[in-house]
């Protein structure tokens, strides 16, 4: 089946929830907010991780993943991100102070270093395993990208963390082969000031944003809800005209493309 799996759907870990991670294929993920817990030993097959941005909730499982499979992996783990994300990973994570620099440490059983960095640019398409990934710029408090994911001829868009962002609607309006959108909604509408300050959306803001979408055939999925606000956000989404049919994602859910 042509599916992607939501390994972590939320913007926080309280109430037993997991943070952002999507498995695109057996070997490819977007973000590493929650890899080891849902996949266990199967996670060792992941060779390519695409990152949206550098925030902790999107990278937290990366050092644990490398540590867990360091002795048995033979191929390097390929890490893809925009310039800012790669810089942050090098300076603030793989710096020997927080985590060993696995970019210069050879794997125990393999050829070359344990990790290899790949700087990517918005608008270019990147191939990994059986999928194609095209990053696009979003509007967050650090430089961040979403991805148009192409798998077996089907396309789905994932925004990751973003505030209002015209690029999302430009792409969806110009490419009718993208039939599904995963977009974030982090805070209830009463927290609009917080959404602005932290670069996130609320149900009210998402409803306004959806007025820019000139299509009615796009399925909308919601992610990155702050767990303590799940009930409020679900109710608000149902109450707004353009978000009432949106599907709220949960950890472990699958989306058929
Ligand atoms: Zn986040
Ligand atoms: Zn973020």
* Ligand 1 center from residue 187 Cα (angstroms): 12
Region 188-215 average pLDDT: 98
Tokens of 221: 């999925």
For residue 160, give its domain range. 3-256
Closest CA to 55 of 200, 221, 165: 200
Determine if the pTM surpasses 0.85. yes
Count of domains observed in the chain: 1
Please answer whether residues 30 and 158 qualify as being in contact, where contact means their C-beta atoms are separated by less than 8 angstroms.
yes
* Ligand 2 center from residue 146 Cα (angstroms): 11
Q: What is the pLDDT of residue 23?
A: 98
Residue 145 has pLDDT above 80, yes or no: yes
Please answer whether residues 10 and 18 qualify as being in contact, where contact means their C-beta atoms are separated by less than 8 angstroms.
yes
* Ligand 1 center from residue 11 Cα (angstroms): 5
CA pair distance 155, 257, nearest whole angstrom: 7
CATH number, domain with residue 149: 3.60.15.10
* Ligand 1 center from residue 93 Cα (angstroms): 17
**Cα-only R_g, the chain:** 18
* Ligand 1 center from residue 153 Cα (angstroms): 28
Average pLDDT of the chain, as a whole number: 96
């Amino acid at each position: 089946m042509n599916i992607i799996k939501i390994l972590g759907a939320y913007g926080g870990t309280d109430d037993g929830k997991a943070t952002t991670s999507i498995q695109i294929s057996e070997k490819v993920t977007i973000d590493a907010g929650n890899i080891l817990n849902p996949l266990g030993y199967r996670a060792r097959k992941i060779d390519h991780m695409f990152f949206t941005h550098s925030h902790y909730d999107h990278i937290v499982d990366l050092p644990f993943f490398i540590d867990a499979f360091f002795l048995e992996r033979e191929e390097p783990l390929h890490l893809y991100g925009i310039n800012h994300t790669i810089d942050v990973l090098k300076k603030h994570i793989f710096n020997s102070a927080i985590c060993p620099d696995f970019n210069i440490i050879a794997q125990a059983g393999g050829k070359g270093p344990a990790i290899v960095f790949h700087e990517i640019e918005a608008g270019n398409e990147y191939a990994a395993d059986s999928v194609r990934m095209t990053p696009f710029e979003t509007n967050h408090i650090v430089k961040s990208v979403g991805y148009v994911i192409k798998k077996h001829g089907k396309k789905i868009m994932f925004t990751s963390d973003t505030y209002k962002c015209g690029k999302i609607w430009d792409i969806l309006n110009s490419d009718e082969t993208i039939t599904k959108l995963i977009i974030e909604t982090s805070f209830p509408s009463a927290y609009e000031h917080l959404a602005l300050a932290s670069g996130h959306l609320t149900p009210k803001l998402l409803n306004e944003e959806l007025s820019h979408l000139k299509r009615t055939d796009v399925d909308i999925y919601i992610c990155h809800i702050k767990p303590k606000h799940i009930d409020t956000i679900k109710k608000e989404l149902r109450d707004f005209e353009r978000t009432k049919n949106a599907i709220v994602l949960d950890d472990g859910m699958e989306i058929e493309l």
